Amino acid sequence: MFTSAIVRRPGKNFADGITTSVLGKPDYRKALRQHEAYCNALLRCGLDVTILDAEERYPDSCFVEDTAVILEEAAVIARPGAAARLGEEAGISGILSTFRKLERIESPGTLDGGDIMRAGDHFYIGRSKRTNREGAGQLAGILSGYGYTSSEIVVESVPHLKSGVTFIENGNFVSIGEFLGRFPGSNVINVSNEEGYSSNCLYVNGFLLISEGFPRSKRRLLDLGYTIIELEMSEFRKMDGALTCLSLLL
């Protein structure tokens, strides 16, 4: 059970962030409304939500998940793989130090939190353009020190591992085709190419947050018995962001 969430409002220069999307420029005011709805959903899930002010130096900084990996015992401060995002982690470490002991990924390692997916006591570490071999190895060593296991997955078609697959508890994964076959013994919900964005879901205290506009994926999740909160994420999708990206859960 999570008790708290840390989020950061998008800045006015949100549209200047890094993206591979061809969906157009995000509408800032609409992004703020969608972010507010996201925060309200976390409150509905029973969390205390800390909302940080926008950080205009870093257009991508509302995607706070990339700055850290949260364990029960510690918070691992990441080292962003995109040069333009280096420094975002400094603004988070002081806040997280009030909740957890801190560990850190050090140079030459790079690691984005969006590449890290936890399933029970096992962590899947995505090796992507943002998370390199050194960063993955450092995190694996930290995790091992706290009694966790880990394995690496090469990420090719999406920016981060969790851009294409998420674990939603109860033995279920939601995945695009690239990651099928990586989770033997689990129930893997394969989403179509057209609904690939819906693979990023966020399970919080008995609720499943999903992105609006993907009816086939929604139907399959409802059939599994999840209590769903559906959120409009159009403006964050334009900037390669999704549900998990917008919070750090503790």
Q: Is position 245 annotated as part of the catalytic site?
A: yes
Distances (CA, A) of 238 to 81, 151, 175, 202: 20, 30, 20, 19
Edge to edge, the sheet with strand 248-249 lists 48-52, 4-8, 248-249
Q: Is position 122 annotated as part of the catalytic site?
A: no
* Residue of 58, 30, 45, 10 whose CA lies nearest to 235: 30
Write down the catalytic residue from 35, 62, 160, 201: 160
Residue ranges of E strands in the chain: 4-8, 48-52, 68-70, 74-77, 101-104, 116-119, 122-127, 149-154, 165-167, 172-175, 187-190, 202-204, 207-211, 227-231, 248-249
The residue written with tokens 């690239």 in the block is 178
Contacts of 76 (CB under 8 A, 6+ apart): 68, 69, 70, 102, 103, 104, 105, 139, 142
| 8 Å CB contact between 149 and 140 | no
* Residue of 51, 46, 82 whose CA lies nearest to 64: 51
Distance of alpha carbon 53 from alpha carbon 89, whole angstroms: 15
Write down the catalytic residue from 39, 45, 201, 245: 245
Residues belonging to the active site: 160, 245
